């Protein structure tokens, strides 16, 4: 035994030896797996590695694997009709990322009955279910008990005949004896008499149709199951559990460090900060009509970077105008980049327009784009003292008879938009209410005083989405806002491979940072919000999408500010970063590749209505089996609850079926509340592309 392991064992023994005097030998386990000698019979399925002293290491990435315990993979009858039992051992997760419903430590349910299911959840807690699927089960340890990269001893004892506090949870690290974490009441009776095969680290074959992504990620050692069919003696007491913990024959080699898998902070939040406020109605484009957009820009370097992306998505909107404007950073004579750079970008766009339009319909011709470029109020910061061709064009758009809202994007200051609104107020005051219902203002940073001093006081009903802080997610300091694990989708290597090199003259024009790669696109959320990818972000400012998520600045106000996901105002954007960066890379490919050589996004489809009602404890099933891909790529499905948006407080356990293309979950008992279930469909192309569908379930009495 190595020195560190010996010291650790001595420390444990020093703590527990006073309790050993006069006690009998350790009880015989029904199952003992992951030790050097005297293991139960088992079969390895998939890429599970056995290393020193019997530790089994499970991968943190697919393909997934598991151990089947017993002869020929048959159920273990000795685990049936247990009135009490204890499961214990050493676990060292390399990652706390989980599949839907938690990752399996031990599992011998027969589908969703007869047996037990011990899982760990993303927040490091363990959950035990007996004779039932863990949906709705709240028989949990405290959170934070498992930590990535560290060995932890755990034990859970269950007394099926007990009426109260019949489950005991124990944990500790290698250098101290196991302590009681908590007692829970869980009256599920004895284990059933029709168990499924016992598996370690994943599901058994009775439930593989739900997928196998619920794999434990990391090391397991000395997993033991004790039990009794007669009474409560299978629920071991604390002194016995401590003696098992101190048994050197069941300890891993603590001197061999566990790798800790670097991972993005959890996408699926465990705490809610800014739920989507109910009862909010906003104008949306009519069915079959693209969003109408006006982009105003001050020509800063990040505006110029954003314009590259904007033009590659020009088919997603009806572009009504692109307007030179000013800001507190840029105006004529002060850090001004002139009034030709947009036209020069469009000239570059013209060189690949014929190729681009083969990939998707709706791309405007270069001439159509050039005809939409106008000069707005650029003479000074906040200038709105006179009409300009840009402000007059905005007036025309807001007063025309076309249906649907108009999204006024302020990449710089709001002054040109303010002048247009001022003209309407003074020449067409009887149409102000109509315009307030038609226009939606999206502000990046608020870069002059015209919004606070003119627009909001005079147009209090004008819906305003203020990305006053959230835009910073992909602005100049993006590397401080986005988790490090996502930097690989923005760094210099990614930018050179996917955008800057061999992707045509417009992409080559992108002004990348020489070291960091991605420069800044603080203005891109203003139009990413209107890219309809299935997240329904246009229906409610609080729903969230690629362009961020919003909450009312004050109760009843028409001004909305960036909402926080799990307390992080940037997370509402970075949680989609891999998807929108891959999507941009595919668009860059469209500039230079024929249709058959490029990837195109899948079509995510959920059967039935996207707005549903259900009663508490109903079981909902959602199916995406009719989703398709234009390139006939293989599709991968993920279902997740957008808990940050929900008015419902409960977190549902999602079970997937039909190779993941369908999911089921139990509706919580929270009448009047809503659940946002997100389907995420990703194809197997290069780069992989993702589209979504959002199903909103309202819980009724």
What are the pLDDT digits (tens) for 439-471?
999 999 999 999 999 999 999 999 999 999 999
The mean pLDDT value for 289-313 works out to 98
Contact 146, 156 (CB under 8 A): no
User: Is 16 a residue whose pLDDT tops 50?
Assistant: no
Nearest to 106 by CA among 17, 227, 284: 227
User: Is 23 a residue whose pLDDT tops 60?
Assistant: no
Confidence band for 15, pLDDT divided at 50, 70 and 90 = very low
> Distance (Å, rounded) from C-alpha 50 to C-alpha 107?
20
What are the pLDDT digits (tens) for 542-562?
999 999 999 999 999 999 999
> Distance (Å, rounded) from C-alpha 610 to C-alpha 603?
15
Contact 438, 406 (CB under 8 A): yes
**Beta strand pairing call for 66-69 and 42-45:** antiparallel
What are the pLDDT digits (tens) for 156-191?
999 999 989 999 999 999 989 999 999 999 999 999
Ordered by start, the domain boundaries in the chain are 3-250, 292-596, 599-701
Write the CATH number of the domain with boundaries 599-701: 2.60.40.10
For CA atoms 258, 261, 265, 271, give the dihedral sign. negative
| The predicted structure's pLDDT at residue 261 | 65
What are the pLDDT digits (tens) for 393-447?
999 999 999 999 999 999 999 999 999 999 999 999 999 999 999 999 999 999 9
User: Is 21 a residue whose pLDDT tops 70?
Assistant: no
Query: What percent of the chain stands above pLDDT 70?
Result: 95
Query: What's the per-residue H, E or C state across 596-645?
Result: HHCCCCCECCCCCCCEEEECCCCEEEEECCCCECCCCCCEEEEEEECCCC
Looking at 120-134, 530-544, 575-589, which range is the least confident one?
Answer: 120-134
Nearest to 34 by CA among 200, 192, 157, 149: 200
Confidence band for 25, pLDDT divided at 50, 70 and 90 = confident
User: Is 14 a residue whose pLDDT tops 70?
Assistant: no
Phi, psi of 74 (to 5 degrees): -85, 155
Q: What fold does the segment set 3-250 form as a domain?
A: Jelly Rolls (2.60.120)
Phi, psi of 680 (to 5 degrees): -120, 115
- How many beta carbons lie within 10 A of that of residue 600, not counting itself? 18
What are the pLDDT digits (tens) for 652-669?
989 888 888 999 999 999
At the second CATH level, the architecture of 292-596 is Alpha-Beta Complex (3.90)
> Distance (Å, rounded) from C-alpha 268 to C-alpha 149?
21
What are the pLDDT digits (tens) for 465-502?
999 999 999 999 999 899 888 999 999 999 999 999 99
Contact 294, 374 (CB under 8 A): no
**Residues 6 or more apart from 344 whose CB is under 8 A from it?**
none
In the numeric block, which tokens belong to residue 29? 């386990």
Nearest to 600 by CA among 353, 356, 295, 310: 356
Q: How far is CA 146 from the centre of its chain?
A: 21
> Distance (Å, rounded) from C-alpha 371 to C-alpha 475?
29
Strand ranges in 433-588 using DSSP code E only, listed in sequence order: 439-444, 463-467, 550-552, 559-562
What are the pLDDT digits (tens) for 572-618?
999 999 999 999 999 999 999 999 999 999 999 999 999 999 999 99
Averaged confidence pLDDT in the chain: 93
Identify the H or E element spanning 416.
Answer: helix 415-427
Confidence band for 265, pLDDT divided at 50, 70 and 90 = low
Confidence band for 258, pLDDT divided at 50, 70 and 90 = confident
> Distance (Å, rounded) from C-alpha 535 to C-alpha 692?
6
- Please give the radius of gyration of the chain, using alpha carbons only, rounded to the nearest integer: 30
Contacts 24+ apart (CB under 8 A), 340-344: 341/299, 341/304, 341/307, 342/297, 342/307, 342/373, 343/370, 343/373
């Amino acid at each position: 035994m190595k020195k560190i392991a010996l010291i650790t064992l001595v420390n444990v023994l020093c703590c527990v030896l006073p309790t050993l005097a006069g006690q009998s030998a350790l009880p015989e386990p029904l199952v003992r797996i992951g030790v050097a000698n005297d293991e139960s019979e088992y079969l390895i399925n998939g890429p599970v590695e056995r290393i020193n002293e019997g530790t089994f290491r499970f991968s943190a990435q697919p393909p997934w694997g598991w151990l089947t315990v017993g002869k020929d993979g048959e159920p273990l009858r000795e685990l049936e009709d247990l009135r009490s039992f204890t499961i214990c051992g050493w676990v060292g997760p390399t990652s706390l990322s989980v599949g839907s419903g938690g990752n399996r430590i031990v599992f011998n349910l027969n589908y969703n009955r007869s047996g037990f299911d011990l899982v760990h959840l993303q927040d490091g807690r363990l959950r035990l279910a007996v004779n039932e699927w863990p949906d709705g089960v709240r028989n949990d340890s405290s959170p934070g008990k498992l930590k990535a990269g560290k060995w932890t001893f755990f034990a859970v004892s269950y007394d099926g005949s007990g009426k109260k506090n019949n489950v005991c949870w124990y944990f500790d690290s290698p250098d101290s004896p196991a302590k009681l974490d908590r007692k829970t009441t869980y009256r599920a009776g004895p284990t059933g008499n029709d168990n499924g095969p016992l598996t370690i680290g994943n599901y058994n074959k009775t439930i593989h149709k739900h997928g196998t992504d619920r794999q434990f990620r990391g090391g397991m050692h000395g997993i033991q199951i004790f039990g009794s069919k007669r009474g409560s003696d299978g629920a071991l007491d604390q002194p016995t559990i401590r003696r098992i913990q101190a048994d050197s024959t069941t300890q891993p080699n603590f001197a061999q460090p566990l790798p800790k898998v670097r991972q993005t902070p959890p996408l699926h939040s465990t705490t809610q900060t800014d739920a989507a406020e109910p009862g909010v109605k906003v104008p949306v484009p009519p069915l079959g009509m693209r969003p109408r957009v006006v982009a105003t820009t001050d020509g800063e370097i990040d505006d110029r970077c954003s314009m590259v992306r904007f033009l590659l998505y020009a088919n997603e909107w009806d572009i009504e105008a692109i307007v030179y404007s000013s800001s507190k950073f840029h105006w004529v004579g002060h850090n001004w980049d002139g009034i030709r750079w947009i036209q020069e970008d469009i000239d570059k766009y013209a060189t690949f327009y014929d190729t681009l339009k083969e990939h998707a319909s709706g791309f405007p011709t270069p001439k159509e784009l050039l005809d939409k470029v106008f000069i707005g109020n650029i003479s000074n910061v906040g200038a709105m003292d006179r009409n300009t061709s840009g402000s007059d064009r905005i007036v025309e758009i807001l007063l025309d008879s076309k249906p649907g809202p108009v999204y006024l994007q302020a990449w710089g200051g709001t002054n040109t938009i303010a002048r247009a609104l001022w003209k309407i107020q003074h020449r067409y005051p009887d149409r102000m209410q109509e315009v307030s219902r038609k226009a939606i203002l999206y502000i990046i940073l608020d870069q002059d005083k015209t919004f606070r001093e003119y627009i909001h006081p005079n147009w209090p009903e004008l819906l305003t989405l203020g990305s006053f802080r959230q835009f910073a997610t992909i602005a100049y300091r993006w590397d401080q806002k986005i988790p490090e694990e996502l930097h690989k989708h923005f760094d210099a290597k990614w930018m050179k491979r996917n955008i800057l090199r061999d992707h045509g003259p417009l992409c080559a024009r992108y002004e990348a940072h020489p070291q960091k790669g991605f420069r800044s696109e603080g203005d891109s959320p203003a139009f990413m919000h209107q890219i309809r990818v299935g997240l329904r972000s246009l229906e409610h400012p609080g729903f969230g999408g690629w362009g961020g998520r919003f909450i009312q600045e004050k109760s009843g106000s028409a001004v909305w500010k960036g909402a926080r996901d799990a307390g992080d105002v940037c997370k509402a954007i970075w949680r989609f970063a891999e998807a929108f960066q891959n999507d941009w890379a595919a668009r860059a490919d469209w500039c230079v590749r024929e249709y058959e050589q490029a990837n195109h996004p899948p079509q995510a489809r959920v059967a039935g209505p996207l707005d549903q009602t259900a009663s508490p404890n109903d079981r909902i099933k959602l199916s995406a089996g009719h989703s398709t891909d234009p390139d006939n790529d293989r599709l991968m499905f993920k279902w997740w609850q957008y808990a940050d948006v929900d008015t419902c407080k409960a977190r549902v356990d999602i079970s997937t079926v039909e190779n993941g293309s369908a999911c089921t979950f139990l509706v919580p008992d929270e009448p009047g509340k809503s659940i946002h279930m997100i389907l995420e469909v990703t194809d197997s192309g290069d780069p992989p592309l993702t589209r979504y569908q959002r199903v909103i379930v309202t819980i009724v009495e």
